[in-house]
Amino acid sequence: MSHWDRDLNMVDRGAGEYDVDVSGGWNAGSRPNGGYLMALGVRAVTRVAARPDPLTVTCHFLRPAEVGPARLRVEPVRFGRTVATLQAALTQGGRERYRLIATVGDLTTSTGHTRSLRTAPDLPPPHRCAPAPATLAAGVRLPITDRVELRLVPPSVRPGQPVEAAGWFRMRDGREPDPSMLYLVVDAFTPVVFALGVGEWSPTLELTVHLRARPAPGWLRVVRRTGALTNGWFEEDAEVWDSADVLVAQARQFARLGAGAATR
């Protein structure tokens, strides 16, 4: 069993409640990766909904989560014919760490128009890109880099232009991508805004991920972009493309730039 599948394991307590053990394997410093945490909630939601595809999920991060036991509570909001909406909360020690709301469905039964409005990003091959460092500039260790192979295309920083960076993502143990992994993918790279030299850490307040297609096996490409940094608030957009040149996810987070000692 892959690290990812083992660390998404959960025990069904009935009535939409699940016990999970938050792994330290996807940490940045002492803090679990937000995308990994979100994947846990999405897993619980898709189980309760009995529908496979998280079409759009928004997570509001309330307090930092910790490695160790946690409880997930799923509340159905509406079950429709084609989609269902549910919310979920992750709690540790009686304190809610995040709340998410999700609309789920089944992409394989969707029919409708398709138009190719974009071309996949043209990146140098992974072996010609630099591996992600295992520590941040501030000295914070990134255990996630033991599990995930990240290959970086250097950020583009031009005055008056969005700051943008791209990269490659795959699991070191060969676990192929699926929708559950895309939350980790969009949150695994250090924020592109750091390339401006104005901060060292940044708590995410909210992260929304749209699933556009189930990813094909192989490397994933991620393009990230920040277009506005205003009084410390910024957005980061991420697009994920699979090895078949299909756009598989679009994400946007709202975050706050921090400076000084990193805690995550």
Query: Judged by CB under 8 A, does residue 260 bind a copy of itself?
Result: no
- Long-range Cβ pairs for the range 132-141 (8 Å, 24+): 132/167, 132/189, 132/190, 136/28, 136/29, 136/190, 136/200, 136/201, 136/262, 137/194, 137/200, 138/200, 138/201, 138/261, 138/262, 140/28, 140/29, 140/201, 140/262, 140/264, 141/27, 141/29
Among 213, 216, 245, 263, indicate the residue that binds a copy of itself (CB under 8 A): 213
What is the enclosing helix (H) or strand (E) of 165?
strand 163-171
- The three-point CA angle 98-103-109 to 5° equals 145
Q: How many residues bind a copy of itself (CB under 8 A)?
A: 55
Query: Judged by CB under 8 A, does residue 113 bind a copy of itself?
Result: yes
Nearer to a copy of itself, 30 or 87 (CB): 87
Q: C-beta of 7: minimal distance to a copy of itself in Å?
A: 26
Cα–Cα distance for residue pair 193/164, rounded to 1 Å: 8
Query: Judged by CB under 8 A, does residue 228 bind a copy of itself?
Result: yes
* One-character DSSP codes across 56-108: EEEEEE-S---SEEEEEEEEEEEE-SS-EEEEEEEEETTEEEEEEEEEEE-GG
Query: Judged by CB under 8 A, does residue 83 bind a copy of itself?
Result: yes
Among 219, 229, 245, 263, indicate the residue that binds a copy of itself (CB under 8 A): 229
Q: C-beta of 250: minimal distance to a copy of itself in Å?
A: 6
Amino acid at 198: V
Q: C-beta of 136: minimal distance to a copy of itself in Å?
A: 18
Nearer to a copy of itself, 7 or 239 (CB): 239
Max CA distance (Å), the chain: 54
Nearer to a copy of itself, 148 or 255 (CB): 255
Among 101, 123, 144, 188, indicate the residue that binds a copy of itself (CB under 8 A): 101
Query: Judged by CB under 8 A, does residue 156 bind a copy of itself?
Result: no
**Binding positions for a copy of itself, rule: CB under 8 A:** 55-56, 58, 60, 62-63, 77-78, 80, 83, 85, 87, 96, 99, 101, 103, 107, 110-119, 160-163, 196, 198-199, 205-206, 208, 210, 212-213, 226-233, 235, 247, 250, 252, 254, 256-257
